[in-house]
């Protein structure tokens, strides 16, 4: 926020002050003022910064496409193994030699790679994350579906687009949408890969040291519970999700040596009763897939399944509420809208849903990377 923003933004203004702020806004928008401010020493820095920020917004789609091309050509993994020249990379990934320098310069400009004095290209810290962070490349790769849904943004916000993203995540429509093995494998793998980061940040935000047993609702192939099992060797675990994901979950638990501590209960929370007996129930990236009415019924069912003193754990990306945030409000909110079933909510909205379901002692916990996930907890009390 610039000094000029501070003059016109903030709490609700008295009528006179609001009128003055309105006149100031119109002045700032005038071409004459912008021309003068671009020359005046005390304001030209602000004008240039704002102009560059606006250009970044306009060019943002190009940046995302550069990133997607970089990922789809497997360049992060290639450069992780060996630094290469433009000519060698062009041959390696089958891009014409006259076009590869454009891609490399663009990837350099957005901070993915750097050019050595030798002429070879190497990954930056940001670029290395594409090769090393589980699920990150997969998440980037599938975004072409979202980009298609946003091709006409006005029609999108008017609700006139029959979005395709929901077809990529069929489980949000209920058990009937997730029976095809190939489709299930696609979204389950992507969910499991990206869940590693979510699990890491969730367990950094909340302590489970007093938990005896945890049930993870909608836990997919068990990525979150696997992380729980590794961090807390005495917790008993139950996974509750659609039957189609159970085989992959069973394999994951077996590979992690958790088969004796992890039960799998196939079912849909829309139609089947939730397992009882756990003193904590987790909902990790579940609520934002569903409408308020569905969420309200689910939270009531969770409340009924918990004993007195039992806790609910909710972890998912959240909006900023009264203070909008780039990740929650300018990305996840649109993503959820394209899925056509749910919506991104603020921590305050989730807390209200929890209160309505009967939970008390509701807390929003500090998250080290809110763009990955935020955490809200509550307690069932008699």
Measured over the CA atoms of residue 146, residue 149, residue 152 and residue 156, the dihedral's sign is negative
Q: Please identify every stretch of the chain with a pLDDT value under 70, giving residue numbers as ranges.
A: 1-25, 27-29, 33-34, 36-38, 40, 42, 44, 47, 134, 168-193
What is this structure's pTM?
Answer: 0.81
pLDDT for the residue 218: 93
Domains 46-132 and 144-380 share a fold: no
CA–CA gap between residue 168 and residue 183 (Å, rounded): 8
Three-point CA angle 272, 273, 277, nearest 5°: 145
CA–CA gap between residue 90 and residue 104 (Å, rounded): 10
pLDDT for the residue 56: 86
Homologous superfamily of the 144-380 domain (CATH): Vaccinia Virus protein VP39 (3.40.50.150)
Check if the beta carbon of residue 23 is closer than 8 Å to that of residue 33.
no
CA–CA gap between residue 348 and residue 4 (Å, rounded): 30
pLDDT tens for each residue of 212-226:
999 999 998 899 999
Residue 61's CB: how many other CB atoms inside 10 A? 11
- List the domain boundaries for the chain: 3-39, 46-132, 144-380
Q: CB-side exposure of 287: number of CA atoms within 13 Å?
A: 32
As its CATH architecture, domain 46-132 has Orthogonal Bundle (1.10)
pLDDT tens for each residue of 179-194:
455 555 555 566 666 7
């Amino acid at each position: 926020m610039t000094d000029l923003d501070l003059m016109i933004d903030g709490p609700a203004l008295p009528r006179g002050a609001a009128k003055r702020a309105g006149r100031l806004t119109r002045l700032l928008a005038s071409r004459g003022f912008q021309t003068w401010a671009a020359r005046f020493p005390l304001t030209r820095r602000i004008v240039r910064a704002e102009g560059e920020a606006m250009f970044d917004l306009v060019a943002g789609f190009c940046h995302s496409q550069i990133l997607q091309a970089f990922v789809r050509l497997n360049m992060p993994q290639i450069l992780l193994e060996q630094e290469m020249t433009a000519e060698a990379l062009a041959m390696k990934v089958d891009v014409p030699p006259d076009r590869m320098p454009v891609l490399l310069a663009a990837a350099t400009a957005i901070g993915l790679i750097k050019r050595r004095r030798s002429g070879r290209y190497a990954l930056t810290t940001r670029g290395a994350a594409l090769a090393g962070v589980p699920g990150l490349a997969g998440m980037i790769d599938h975004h072409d579906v979202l980009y298609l849904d946003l091709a006409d943004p006005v029609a999108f916000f008017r609700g006139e687009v029959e979005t395709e993203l929901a077809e990529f995540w069929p489980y949000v429509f209920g058990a009937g949408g997730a029976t095809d093995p190939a489709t299930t494998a696609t979204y389950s793998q992507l969910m499991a890969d990206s869940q590693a980061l979510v699990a890491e940040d969730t367990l950094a935000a909340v302590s489970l040291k007093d938990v005896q047993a945890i049930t993870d609702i909608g836990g997919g192939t068990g990525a979150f519970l696997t992380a729980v099992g590794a961090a807390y060797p005495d917790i008993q675990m139950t996974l509750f999700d659609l039957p189609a994901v159970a085989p992959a979950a069973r394999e994951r638990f077996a590979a992690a040596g958790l088969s004796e501590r992890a039960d799998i209960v196939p079912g849909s929370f829309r139609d089947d009763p939730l397992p009882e007996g756990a003193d904590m129930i987790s909902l990790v990236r579940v609520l934002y897939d569903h409408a308020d009415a569905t969420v309200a019924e689910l939270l009531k069912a969770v409340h009924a399944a918990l004993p007195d003193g039992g806790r609910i754990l909710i972890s998912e990306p959240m909006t900023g509420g009264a203070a909008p945030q780039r990740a929650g409000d300018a990305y996840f909110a649109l993503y959820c809208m394209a899925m056509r079933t749910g919506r991104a909510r603020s921590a305050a909205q989730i807390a209200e849903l929890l209160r309505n379901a009967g939970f008390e002692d509701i807390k929003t916990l500090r998250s080290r990377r809110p763009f990955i996930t935020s955490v809200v907890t509550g307690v069932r009390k008699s």
